[in-house]
Each structure stands twice: as structure tokens, then as C-alpha cells.
A and B are shown apart, each in its own frame.
Chain A
Amino acid sequence: MSIPSETLSNAYRLMKTIREFEERVNAEIMNGQIPGFTHLYTGQEANAVGVCAHLDASDTIISTHRGHGHCIAKGADVSGMMKELFGSSEGLCKGKGGSMHVADIDKGILGANGIVAGGPPISVGSALAAKIRKNGKVAVSFSGDGSVNQGTCFEAMNMAVVLEVPAVFVIENNYYSEHTNISYAVGCDDLKARTEAFGFPVFVADGADFFAVYEAAGKAIDHARAGHGPAGVFAEQGRYHGHFVGDPQHYRGEGELDDLRENHDCLKNFRARMAETNELDAATLDAIDADVMAEIEQAVVDAKAAARPTAAQVTEDVYINYGAGA
């Protein structure tokens, strides 16, 4: 499979952007600059980017509590996201949502989601709209290995098959739901087979390998776009950080994190592949790295300087106001 070099450089840029965004967010949380509950996507960048590389702005995605990567991969404004995480009124959601609710509707980003498996049913609705409008759009939902055990996820998968809608279910197995391993929480031995039993094909990929995810997601999205009903992607790749920032990670085995960072790194893998094929040279990749670092630095500077929300904004966007209490 040959991939246009613009697609390649864009993919690398997005993966690097997610990586640096998350690492910087981690640091700013440690500095006490970012409030609330934040879940980092570091390590899993290739999943989001490999999937979203097949989408345009009018296809939709719906994300999870671990949503920064999906949003960046789908084209969310990085500076607006950073401002949102800092709680600024200039943030993508005016400081109302924060990390768990980053959304950019114009870019087809129907939101990160604080409710585990809140997203898949909504994605089926977006897919149903595409089917009714016959516009060839697809709706992608991301779900973790824990999220797939929620009734809403089962209902969405079955209904997508029944309604024959272009819904793509991306299952990201990072082996844990909070502190519980998939081997405990998913009762059967084969989550791919369980998912396929709903009646749609699921394509498996190594989530540390952009090319593998790109290929698997391409098949799933083509299937849905062509009107054959839903499809799935099953990508495996651990997260580098805890479930949330501050998680003591008692569940990790000896050497697990070192192994992940050493041997399962989508950026390293991407560079190694480029060194082999020469599709992009090292100087190009280095230049992207430098650009990204500067962009993230600027995003943080801007977020710190951005306007803060005022009390009057609390009751904006609620449709109905009764006035505050006493």
C-alpha cells in the first residue's frame, strides 16, 4: 500500500502533536495549572491518527474520557483545546467542559465523553443521519476495552447492524479499564470475535503501528462508506501514563512501562519505517518535531494569557434561565 507523502507527513505531525500536547498537559497538571480530571492518550496516538486519516470534516467521531488524541487527530484547534483545559472562556467549549468534554462540532467532533460508553449510541445516530441523507458520510466512535462491557455499547452495535448504518466502532484495547485488566473484565477470551458476533467485520491492528491502524481502519471505513453497514477496528496498544494523572498504577507488572515506551512507540516505529523506505527523510521529520514543539509552547503561553470566564457566563447556553439562587 503506498500512502501519499503528504498523508504521511500529516500523520506524523498529528501523532507528534498529540504526544507533545499530552506530555505538556501532564507537566501543567503537576504545576497545578490545569484543574479537574484528566486522562492522557500518550502511547496510543497511532490509533486516533490512523483512523482519522480516512475522515474529512463532515464525517463524525465521538470520543471518550481519554479524548485529546481523537480530537487532535480529527482536526481540533490545538490552541483552543489547550485553552479549554486551562478553563479559559476562549477555550473550544468556553471553559464549560474541560478535558473530558472537548468538542468541535464544525470539525465533526461530537465530543469527548465523561460517561463510559456514552458515545456509541450517539454515533449510531450520526450514522443513521448519513444513511437517510445518502451523503456517504461515516460516523466513528472510539471505545476502550472497558467501555465495550457497557450495555449502551452492546445496544449501539446491535442496532447499527439492524439499521445497516455506516457506523465504525473503534475499540482501543490498552489492556486496562482504570485499574482492572481486560483479562478480568471481558469475560470471553476473544474480544474481536465477540464484537464480530454482532454481525459486522472487525479489522485488527497493532496500535503502536500507524501503518497497521491506517490499513485496518481503511478497510472498516470503506466498508461502512460503501453502504455495507457497520464495521469495527480493534487496535491494541498500552497507555504510557496512569488511568488519570496521579494514578499510582498498582496494576502494572514489573518492567511493563519500560517495555511499552521502549518497544511499543508509534513515533519510533514511524521513523524506523521512514528510514527504511525513505518516503520521508529525517530532516523533514525533525522539522515537524520542531514545529510541533513550538506550536505546543505557543498554545500553553496563549492558554495562560487567555481570558477567564465570568460568573455571568454560568447560565449562558442553558436555553432557560430562572436566575441564580439567593
Chain B
Amino acid sequence: MSQKTMRDAINEALHQAMEQDESVFVIGEDVAGCNGSAGDVGAVGGVFGVTTGIYHRWPDRCIDTPISESAIVGAAAGAALVGMRPVAEIMFADFIGVCMDQIVNQMAKFRYMFGGKSRCPAVIRFSAGGGFSAAGQHSQAMYQVMTSFPGLKVVVPSNAYDAKGLLLTAIADDDPVLFFEPKILYQETCEVPDDPYTIPFGEANFVREGDDVTVVAFGQMVPKAAAAIDELAEEGISCDLIDPRTTSPLDEGAILESVAATGRLVVVDEAPPRCGLTADIAALAADKAFASLKGPIKQVCAPHSPTPFSPELEAAYLPDGNKIKAAIKATMG
């Protein structure tokens, strides 16, 4: 057990999965790095360094590709269909735009359309989310979009501990899993056991426990919501903070149970509002916990716009502690 960054925790999970199972391999752009060059092949480990060191231990199972996202995802899907356990890396979640068909029409549909006779144990990892002034094509969350497709499991870890356990679960899972790593959290640390462990899908984490308001937050919004809730605790307001960890499957039970107890709900996500997770969870509560609601459900999310470049604009765009606190208070009337 020691303090590890989310980057290192994911890296450790990958190493352990590779050790345990020879059918696991890593594939993507620069996941080794420097191939074909006069320099140091394997020195990169992905642009965020998440696959560092894998090439040096398993050169045959750490596969650099050309810039061809459709073929990367398709190759992962195909290898998985015949029994391998690929972990593909798509550098930025935004590039789903390039490989949407292979994800949504191909791998997501195999098992169902083939009458339940196939398995596709592929994991696709993405860096996701805003906070880098990376503008409209390198900042999107995307997981909220992918959550709407039946046939995909969708994971959004919010800390290093969860990231490691959830990735090991994802790799062992027999169905396609999309694994979204909030890139702003790569450097964040927490206690992470050295040994391999798994965290089941569909089991939310209660990050804070309280009586007045239920707050549900995703990805990089979880630490922001936790900080906001801790500040409100000093004002005598106490909140449940639920991190669903997987958006599909979703732990509806945990959310509904909490709302039944508090009667108030705030949902926080960094993506824009329409057809997103905040609306989804709000609808869940309105539908199934209506009788226990004591006030309006509040959604805290980005506005309906692409992610802007300028730091001032992005700061205004992304939800922050003040917006979360205001929403919590708004539910209390």
C-alpha cells in the first residue's frame, strides 16, 4: 500500500493484467513509442505515460499503430471476438468521432445480434474531459454519449484506487468496456494497494455520507463536489456524495436509497446538459423517487457549448465548487 497517482495506478493494473493473462495486450498510438526511429523504442508509453514500461517487458504485446482509430478499435474488437483481451488506447475521448462505427455498430452489437453466442472482451481506454485549455476537440467527456448505447459498459474513475480496481475488472469482463480516464486527475494521488484487486461494476462509492442532500457526481467532478460538500459541512449542511464509478451499469439502487433518505438531489457532470448524465439521473429520481423529493432536482453541468480554449472561458464553462454549493443550497429552498 502506498500513495500512487492515477496514472501509476492504471499503469500498475495494466502490468498486473499482462502478468496474469497472456491474452491481454495493449494497442494504440505510441503506447510503446519511437518505433522505426533511431531513438529509444518503448520510451514513451502513450502521450500521458499510462502504458510506460509495458513494451520493455512484453514487446510482442505492446503494439504501436499508425494514426488509424477505426482500425485500432476494430482490431481490438476482432481480436476480442476470437478470445484475446485487448486493451486499446485512444489518446483523447474526442477521437471517438473517428471510430464511432467500430465502437457503436460493431463491438457493442456483436453479442446481442449474434444471439448471445459471442463474447467481445475488449477494453478501450480514453483520456477524457476538460481543464487543459485544449479547446473543442481535445476536452470532451464523451462518456455521457457512450452511456446511451446498449452493449457497452462505461467506466469513469475519479481516483487512483478506483481506477486500478475498475480497470482490472474491465479487463476480466467478457463484454466491451469503455474506460474514460479524466486526464486532469492523472497526477492526483491516493492510497493504492500494491496487489491486484477488483471493484465490481454497478456499485457506487459513497464518498461522503450525510442527511440533507444527495449529490451524485462523475469523474473529475467527484473531488470538486467533495471539496464543496466539506465546505458546506462547516455551515451545518451535510450531504451524501455518490460516485457511481460506472455509468453503465448504473447503481440506481444506491442513488434512489440516498434520495429516499435526503429528499433532495444535485447531479454534477462536466458535460453539456442535453441528453447527458445529469438529466439521466434527474429523470431516474423524478420517476422512481418522486414521493420522497422535498425540492427541485438541480443539475450542475457545462453550458450547451463546445469547450472553449481560453482559460477564463473554460473556467466559466466547467462546473466548480461555487456552482455545486449554490445548487445544493437551491435544493434546500
Binding site for B on A (CB under 8 A): 35-37, 87-89, 93, 95-98, 100-101, 113-118, 146-147, 149-152, 176-187, 249-254, 256, 308-311, 313-315, 318, 320-326
Which chain B residues lie closer than 8 Å to A313 at the CB level?
A: 308, 313
Binding site for A on B (CB under 8 A): 29-30, 33-40, 43-44, 47, 64-71, 94-95, 97-98, 132-138, 266, 273-274, 278, 298-306, 308-313, 316-317, 319, 323, 326-327, 330
Which chain B residues lie closer than 8 Å to A98 at the CB level?
A: 133, 135, 309-310
B5 CB → nearest A CB, Å: 18
Contact A315 B37, CB 8 Å, known A152-B98, A326-B323: no
Closest to A98 in B: B309
Which chain B residues lie closer than 8 Å to A256 at the CB level?
A: 38
Residue contact A311 to B304, C-beta cutoff 8 Å: no
Total contacts A-B at CB 8 Å: 192
Residue contact B67 to A176, C-beta cutoff 8 Å: no
Contact residue among A87, A88, A250 (Cβ-Cβ distance under 8 Å from B40): A250
Residue contact B135 to A309, C-beta cutoff 8 Å: no
Residue contact B137 to A324, C-beta cutoff 8 Å: no
Which chain A residues lie closer than 8 Å to B266 at the CB level?
A: 326
Closest to B319 in A: A325
Sample 14 A-B pairs with CB under 8 A, ordered by A number: A35-B310, A96-B135, A98-B133, A98-B309, A98-B310, A115-B98, A118-B137, A311-B313, A313-B313, A318-B304, A320-B304, A322-B273, A325-B323, A325-B327
Most central of A113, A179, A184 by chain B CB within 10 Å: A179
B32 CB → nearest A CB, Å: 9
Most central of B64, B132, B304, B319 by chain A CB within 10 Å: B304
Closest to A184 in B: B36
Which chain B residues lie closer than 8 Å to A324 at the CB level?
A: 302-303
**A-B CB proximity, top 9 nearest:** A184-B36, A253-B38, A181-B36, A98-B309, A87-B310, A114-B137, A311-B316, A95-B310, A35-B133
Contact A97 B68, CB 8 Å, known A250-B40, A314-B316, A314-B317: no
Residue contact B305 to A315, C-beta cutoff 8 Å: yes
Which chain A residues lie closer than 8 Å to B95 at the CB level?
A: 115
Contact residue among A36, A150, A180 (Cβ-Cβ distance under 8 Å from B98): A150
A55 CB → nearest B CB, Å: 25
A92 CB → nearest B CB, Å: 11
Which chain A residues lie closer than 8 Å to B47 at the CB level?
A: 178
Residue contact A149 to B68, C-beta cutoff 8 Å: yes
Residue contact A251 to B34, C-beta cutoff 8 Å: yes
Closest to B40 in A: A250
Residue contact B37 to A325, C-beta cutoff 8 Å: no
Most central of A177, A180, A309, A313 by chain B CB within 10 Å: A180
Contact A180 B309, CB 8 Å, known A150-B68, A186-B66: no
Whole-angstrom distance between the alpha carbons of A76 and B311 in the complex? Answer: 23
Which chain B residues lie closer than 8 Å to A36 at the CB level?
A: 132-135, 309
Residue contact B299 to A325, C-beta cutoff 8 Å: yes
Closest to B269 in A: A325
Whole-angstrom distance between the alpha carbons of A253 and B37 in the complex? Answer: 7
Which chain A residues lie closer than 8 Å to B302 at the CB level?
A: 324-325
Contact residue among A114, A149, A315 (Cβ-Cβ distance under 8 Å from B66): A149
B312 CB → nearest A CB, Å: 5
Whole-angstrom distance between the alpha carbons of A66 and B299 in the complex? Answer: 38
Contact residue among B64, B132, B319, B330 (Cβ-Cβ distance under 8 Å from A184): B64
Whole-angstrom distance between the alpha carbons of A252 and B44 in the complex? Answer: 13
Most central of B44, B68, B71, B305 by chain A CB within 10 Å: B305
Residue contact B98 to A252, C-beta cutoff 8 Å: no
A151 CB → nearest B CB, Å: 5
Closest to B64 in A: A180
Residue contact A314 to B305, C-beta cutoff 8 Å: yes
Residue contact B313 to A95, C-beta cutoff 8 Å: yes
Whole-angstrom distance between the alpha carbons of A97 and B139 in the complex? Answer: 12
Whole-angstrom distance between the alpha carbons of A96 and B305 in the complex? Answer: 11
Closest to A186 in B: B66
B26 CB → nearest A CB, Å: 15
Residue contact A326 to B312, C-beta cutoff 8 Å: no
